[in-house]
Amino acid sequence: MSDIRVLTGPEVAEHNSRESCWIIVHGKVYDVTDFLDEHPGGSRIILKYAGKDATEAYEPIHPPDAITTNLPVEKHLGVIDASTVAKVVKEVTEEEKARQAAWAARPPLDNVLNMHDFEVVAKAVIPEKAWAYYSSASDDEITIRENRTAFQRVWFRPRILRDVSTVDWSTTILGQKSSLPLYISATALGKLGHPEGELCLTRAAANHGVIQMIATLASCSFDDIVDAQANDQTFFLQLYVNRDREITKKYVQHAEARGVKGLFITVDAPQLGRREKDMRMKQVDDSAGAEVQKGQDVKKDQGVARAISSFIDPSLSWKDIPWFRSITKMPIILKGIATAEDAVLAYEAGVQGIVLSNHGGRQLDTARSGLEVLVEVTAALKARGYWPDPKFEIFVDGGVRRASDVLKALALGAKAVGVGRAFLYAFCAYGQEGVERAIQIFRDEFEMNMRLLGARTIDDLVPEMVDASALNQHIVMVPQDNLFQATYQPLQITKLKAG
Ligand code: PPY
């Protein structure tokens, strides 16, 4: 066994420049000089920690093995003698104090009654930067709001007297058992909002038979997530396709070897949408990277997301589908279909499913909701004799907060729906327990809504159970005349004078 070199704080501190840059992460010392220009988040952020301990900045946004897999072993210099490193007494900012107070004052979990409540608590307890990244959507954020309102334009047509003493909302998704007709959809950078990140989702999902889609850009490494599995749980993988196809191939085949049951290729993000809340944080310096493979130049001042998106391949096209088919036997699902035309092309390309999605409103603003697209997609597929087809499943995501939302999508033909932010906010607010509570709330809502709708099983959900005739009516609100509203004197109720 080779001797492990022990380094001191002052020794490391000497290497604090672009010419020689050492950093400490998790008690180990690394020479990252040659890696500076390869860092997906840019060199500036690393140089900020040159000669110092970078663990705190590194931790939330990198999987633990990011350094070890990207840096050759000869650059792993040794361990740090902790007693020689001057302790930095970090000033607790006002924001951090407020955050800690909000965390201590969180309502008991029992008081959380719905997904919206999780969002309120998450907003209060996570760092501003995390909130900006998670909650942001593109441009004027019209699509993110439309995702909610679209569900409200669909009304139920409930059936009665159907003996609903027992109702069953379990189903299968891509042939895998699922206790709910929904899956945990991919969201990135979970450790920005909770120290355990996506593992909160994994552990809760295992306890409740819910399927988790692992994000390419999760804070926890793919293997850490899969290693935490229990109860034979099922995972899907969300894939951002790398410009370097060898990296993608390795990643996909590794996932398949580890038992992942579906490959969801994101097809709506050749370039990342402008999420202005995130961009305003201008936090590129303090945050970058995740499970990103080697990247290109990074745009500065573009927010967390844009800083680490440069590896995504904008040249991805229909021509690539056979290549994906050749590298994996997993079902392939295209995530981010937004029209009937592309749904037909997807079917003809031989994939096993599509997700009608606008990426949580984070990509093309004023793209329609997945729910609205669902109606035209099923009609177009049916017209060509492609659907229903048990080998082709249609999913919807975006804005799902209630079991009633899910039931509407299922009635209109979806096999299941994806839920991203609601579970993300649940773990930001209460960790694993929050996710378990969220699942429980969905369950309660399914039970009640299915009874009231007259659906005993998922198969009972048919298009006749909803009135979707207003779904594509995009009613445009007339903007209020705010100045007039503010100065207008409303009528007063005055006493009538007698006689
Ligand atoms: C998103 O933020 O919408 C994502 O899909 C994740 C992500 C994060 C950073 C770069 C690219 C995509």
pLDDT of residue 480: 78
Residue type, 383: A
Give the DSSP H/E element, type plus range, for residue 245: helix 245-257
Taking residues 285-297, report their average pLDDT. 42
Banded model confidence at residue 266, pLDDT cuts 50, 70, 90: very high
Q: What are phi and psi of 168, to 5 degrees?
A: -135, 115
Indicate the average pLDDT of the chain: 90
Report for 27-36, 65-74, 79-88: range of highest mean pLDDT: 27-36
Is any ligand 1 atom within 6 A of the Cβ of residue 335? Answer: no
Ligand 1: centre distance to CA 305 (Å): 5
Is any ligand 1 atom within 6 A of the Cβ of residue 307? Answer: no
Q: What percent of the chain has pLDDT over 90?
A: 76
Banded model confidence at residue 359, pLDDT cuts 50, 70, 90: very high
- Asked if pLDDT for residue 42 goes beyond 80, the answer is no
Closest C-alpha among 248, 254, 214 to residue 234: 214
Is any ligand 1 atom within 6 A of the Cβ of residue 421? Answer: no
The contacts of residue 223 (CB under 8 Å, 6+ apart) are 65, 258
pTM above 0.95, yes or no: no
Taking residues 1-23, report their average pLDDT. 87
Is any ligand 1 atom within 6 A of the Cβ of residue 188? Answer: yes
Give the DSSP H/E element, type plus range, for residue 236: strand 235-239
Please identify which residue in the block is written with the tokens 């729906």. 417
Tell me the sheet residues that pair with 176: 173
- Asked if pLDDT for residue 211 goes beyond 50, the answer is yes
Ligand 1: centre distance to CA 185 (Å): 13
Q: Give the residue, by CA position, lying nearest to ligand 1 atom 11.
A: 309
Is any ligand 1 atom within 6 A of the Cβ of residue 362? Answer: yes
Q: Greater confidence, 444 or 40?
A: 444
Report for 31-35, 253-257, 470-474: range of highest mean pLDDT: 253-257
Is any ligand 1 atom within 6 A of the Cβ of residue 374? Answer: no
> What is the torsional sign of CA 131, 136, 140, 143?
negative
Q: What is the pLDDT of residues 220-252, one digit of tens each?
A: 999 999 999 999 999 999 999 999 999 999 999
Q: What letter would DSSP give residue 194?
A: -
Banded model confidence at residue 417, pLDDT cuts 50, 70, 90: very high
pLDDT of residue 485: 82
pLDDT of residue 64: 66
Query: For residue 272, which atom of ligand 1 is closest to its CA?
Result: 11
pLDDT of residue 275: 93
Ligand 1: centre distance to CA 378 (Å): 29
Ligand 1: centre distance to CA 324 (Å): 21
Q: What is the pLDDT of residues 126-169, one digit of tens each?
A: 999 999 999 999 999 999 999 999 999 999 999 999 999 999 99
Both tokens of residue 261?
Answer: 């049951």
- Asked if pLDDT for residue 44 goes beyond 80, the answer is no
Pocket test residue of 135, 272, 358 for ligand 1, highest count of atoms within 8 A of CB: 272
Q: Give the residue, by CA position, lying nearest to ligand 1 atom 8.
A: 305
Least confident of 99-103, 111-115, 174-178, 309-313: 309-313
Distance between CA 74 and CA 381 in Å, rounded? 56
Active site residues: 240, 268, 359
Banded model confidence at residue 85, pLDDT cuts 50, 70, 90: confident
DSSP annotation string for 93-131? PHHHHHHHHHHHTPPPGGG--SHHHHHHHHHHHS-HHHH
Is any ligand 1 atom within 6 A of the Cβ of residue 47? Answer: no
pLDDT of residue 491: 73
Q: Give the residue, by CA position, lying nearest to ligand 1 atom 7.
A: 305
Taking residues 353-366, report their average pLDDT. 98
pLDDT of residue 475: 77
Is any ligand 1 atom within 6 A of the Cβ of residue 403? Answer: no
Q: Greater confidence, 20 or 60?
A: 20
Cis peptide before 388 (omega within 30 of 0): yes
Ligand 1: centre distance to CA 75 (Å): 30
Distance between CA 412 and CA 376 in Å, rounded? 10
Q: Give the residue, by CA position, lying nearest to ligand 1 atom 6.
A: 188
- Asked if pLDDT for residue 177 goes beyond 90, the answer is yes
Three-state DSSP at 176 gives: strand
Query: For residue 308, which atom of ligand 1 is closest to its CA?
Result: 10
Please identify which residue in the block is written with the tokens 């690393």. 46
Ligand 1: centre distance to CA 271 (Å): 10
Banded model confidence at residue 94, pLDDT cuts 50, 70, 90: very high
The contacts of residue 112 (CB under 8 Å, 6+ apart) are 118, 121, 429, 430, 434, 437, 441
pLDDT of residue 207: 98
Distance between CA 325 and CA 319 in Å, rounded? 11
